[in-house]
Structures are given as C-alpha cells and as structure tokens.
Amino acid sequence: MKVNVKKHTMMYPAPAVVVSAYDEDGNADACTLAFAAMCSHHPPAVMIAINSTLKRKTLKSILHSNEFCLAFPSVEHMAEVDYLGIESGYNDDKLAKVNFHHHKALNVNAPVIEEFKVSLECKVMHIAEVGSHTQVTGEIVNVQAEESVLNGRDKIDFELLDALAYDDISHSYYKTGDRLSSAFKPGLEFRK
C-alpha cells in the first residue's frame, strides 16, 4: 500500500557538484550544489539551480561572467565540499581555507579547481527563474579529466572517480554504488 509522504525535492542518484566562477574583481568563487543535471545532448549542456533569494556569491559571479566550471568531487574531498556549501564567499576565501588551488580554465574565463579530477567548462546559454532558484543552463565547451579516472577507452569512469553523491531528503553524502550493467541492453529482452 502506498501512503502520502512529505513533499520534498529529490532525485536519485544525484551528485554533489562544485561550481566556480570569477567575480567582477577576478576573485575565484565556488560553492557546492545538489541541484544539477544534464539537460541537452546537442549541444552538450548541464543545468544548475542556485537559490536566488539568499544571495549566493557564486550565483552573482556566474551571472556577471556568464561562464562557470562544474566539478565532480571524489569522496576523499567530502569535508572540503561540505565547507564550500556551508560558508559564503562573502565571509571567507573558501578555496584558500580548504587549501585548494585553481587556475583559469582552457576555454572559458572561470576557475578550474585543481583538486577535483573532472571539470566541465561551461558558457551560460539560458537563465530562468524557477520558484526560489535561478536555473542556469550552461553549454559544455570543454571537459578536463585526470588520466587516473579514465577507462581503457579514454572515457570518464565515475567508479574510478569515486564520485560523491548527495541525498536531499536525509541531507546525507553517499558513495556511488557498483555498476550493474550496460544501459540500452537489458530491456532488449522485452522486444522479442
């Protein structure tokens, strides 16, 4: 029997990502986000949603520069990722505090955080106000990945990355699980 439960945002599995952008003085801002998703193949694009009512500094910087980087952190950086999500760049140089290093991305004017092994370089292509959040869609114009997280065919393997996941209901971090199967194959048995 199904019962009604409290309405809440949820998506599973969901990554905890870190977005970064330069402010108008060229300082690097970064914050942790759970509201992030793929949204277009052609061109490749991702969507992030940042609370517009609470004055996130990173949102201001993304809207100012129109470019940002989005990194997929590994489990080993959970505490640093958490700090980037509980303190504001208005109060602290967060990247310096967690001893992270950054440099300008190759194809966009946004900071790449060196400690994260996979980073997307994005140009803002669409902005929408959705409820409490500003939804920013970014075209992925370049991807950088450490060789250590590539499989034999030079593709990113999120198991090798040991990607950090997040659940918005329990407000908890998770390790991502084991690979089960290739997609687009197990369903073929029902085509018979």
Where on the chain is the footprint of ligand FMN (CB under 6 A)? 16, 29, 31-35, 49-51, 56-58, 82, 85-90, 166
Q: Of 171 and 185, which CB lies nearer to ligand FMN in the complex structure?
A: 171
Both structure tokens of 88: 């504001």
Q: Minimum distance between the CB of residue 142 and ligand FMN, rounded to whole angstroms?
A: 23
Q: Of 91 and 148, which CB lies nearer to ligand FMN in the complex structure?
A: 91
Q: Minimum distance between the CB of residue 63 and ligand FMN, rounded to whole angstroms?
A: 12
Q: Minimum distance between the CB of residue 144 and ligand FMN, rounded to whole angstroms?
A: 22
Look at residue 94 and give its three-state secondary structure: helix
Q: Of 87 and 139, which CB lies nearer to ligand FMN in the complex structure?
A: 87
Q: Tally Cβ neighbours within 10 Å of residue 29.
A: 28
Q: Minimum distance between the CB of residue 97 and ligand FMN, rounded to whole angstroms?
A: 11
Give the C-alpha separation, 123 to 110, whole Å.
10
Q: Which helix (H) or strand (E) holds 91?
A: none
